[in-house]
Amino acid sequence: MTYTYHNPTLIEFGKEKIKSIFNYIPKDAKVLFVYGGGSIKKNGVYEQVVKALEKYESFEFSGVEPNPTVETMNKAVKIVKEKNINFILAVGGGSVIDGCKYLAAASLYEGDAWDFLDGTTQPTEALPLGVVLTLPATGSESNCGSVVSRKTTNEKRFFFSPKVFPMFAVLDPSVMITLDDRQLSNGLIDAFVHTCEQYLTYPNDSLLHDGYSETILKGLITLANNWNKRDTYHWQENLMLLANQALNGFIGSGVPQDWATHMIGHELTAFYGLDHARSLAVVQPQLLRVMFEDKKEKLLQMGQNVFNIDDAQKTIEKIEELYHSLEVSTNLNDYEIDDKVVSNITNALEKHEMTAIGEKQNITLDKIEQILTLTM
């Protein structure tokens, strides 16, 4: 096993931690406070952030949409440049955070920053970024990934850069009181699939990684089984911690990783607007069926250690049942698609040079076509 692991994001976890941002944002910073469509005005987060920023020169930018776009974030880049802003504070879910990672890097880049998304170039610098998380799901609060869309071309792409690791992230579970069932189930499923992408591959030699992943998976299943307690602090606190650990980089370091479900799911969102987690719930079970021969050893292990069953095929059924128990459909026909869905997705993956994906790079376009056909 060989890997490099570095996660520089400081975590402030717990009630009433929002005010602690004052300890980390330099006193002379000019701050851009960025948020989404306004949910933070319904749960007291906005007021807490405004209070914490009281002594700073700060500006606001709102309206970052779910699945953030360059079209929107480039407006923020303009403000950063005009006002000489030197600190970005993202207050929201994965979309606001990802949009701000793009913003932090794009603000110091001379060209069209879509270059980061299409892989033409890597950011060499970025403004410092702080995060107040309001939706546990993506792990974006303490990782260096950013997923951004371009509306004009129906594209949803990503970049990774150590330059955009948040400097700090506040995880206060009490901000979750305003999350509806749709976002809570999305968050739980996204974290579940993140763990699977780094675990459901082929056996590895680590005594730690699999155990850690299995603990996360079991924790998420326990939360799904206790769905009626989802408005309790204890339930919410656990989702926030589990989702964070599912994608802060550790469980995937040094072990095989898949991510094909995400690559296919991103294209579904780009074309048809499915919520990120729902695109994953549609793709993953069928991908596991099509790739069964490659994944059967880990499926059996997951069955034994997570679901307490001795059958690799049944593990896939259990995963699908989990999504159904959260009232999330795994049938693509339940979403607003059209008859071009298979060709749209496979053509987009081809354009994005994702024609051999998965842990063995053997999920080719014909397999993706098979997977998508099974989802309908």
Question: What is the contact surface with ligand NZQ in residues (CB under 6 A)?
Answer: 36-40, 43, 66-67, 92-96, 98, 134-135, 137-140, 143, 145-147, 175-176, 178-179, 183, 186, 190, 247, 262, 276
Q: Cβ-closest residue to ligand NZQ? A: 36
267 contributes a contact to Zn ion by CB under 5 A: no
Distance CA 119, CA 354 (A): 13
Contacted by 43, from ligand NZQ, Zn ion, none: CB < 5 to 8 Å by type: ligand NZQ
Distance CA 210, CA 336 (A): 37
237 contributes a contact to Zn ion by CB under 5 A: no
Contacted by 25, from Zn ion, ligand NZQ, none: CB < 5 to 8 Å by type: none
197 contributes a contact to Zn ion by CB under 5 A: no
Name the 3-class secondary structure at 55: coil
| Residues shown for the chain | 376
Distance CA 193, CA 71 (A): 29
- 190 versus 210: smaller Cβ distance to Zn ion: 190
Give the range of 10-18, 49-57, 190-198, 356-364 binding Zn ion by CB under 5 A.
Answer: 190-198
Give the range of 116-124, 182-190, 249-257, 318-326 binding Zn ion by CB under 5 A.
Answer: 182-190
Contacted by 261, from Zn ion, ligand NZQ, none: CB < 5 to 8 Å by type: none
- 190 versus 237: smaller Cβ distance to Zn ion: 190
Contacted by 178, from ligand NZQ, Zn ion, none: CB < 5 to 8 Å by type: ligand NZQ
Longest dimension (CA), the chain: 61
State the distance between the two ends of the chain, measured CA to CA, in whole angstroms.
Answer: 39
Contacted by 249, from ligand NZQ, Zn ion, none: CB < 5 to 8 Å by type: none
* Residue 161 CB neighbours (<10 A): 18
- 92 versus 285: smaller Cβ distance to ligand NZQ: 92
DSSP-derived secondary structure letter, 230: T
Provide, rounded to whole angstroms, the least separation between the CB of residue 179 and ligand NZQ: 4
Provide, rounded to whole angstroms, the least separation between the CB of residue 90 and ligand NZQ: 10
With contact defined as beta carbons under 8 Å apart, do 121 and 159 qualify?
A: no
The residue type of 22 is F
The residue type of 270 is A
258 contributes a contact to Zn ion by CB under 5 A: no
Q: Determine the distance from the C-alpha atom of residue 307 to the mean position of all C-alpha atoms in its chain, rounded to a whole number.
A: 24
Distance CA 39, CA 78 (A): 24
- 155 versus 197: smaller Cβ distance to Zn ion: 197
Distance CA 363, CA 368 (A): 7
Q: Which residues bind Zn ion (CB under 5 A)?
A: 190
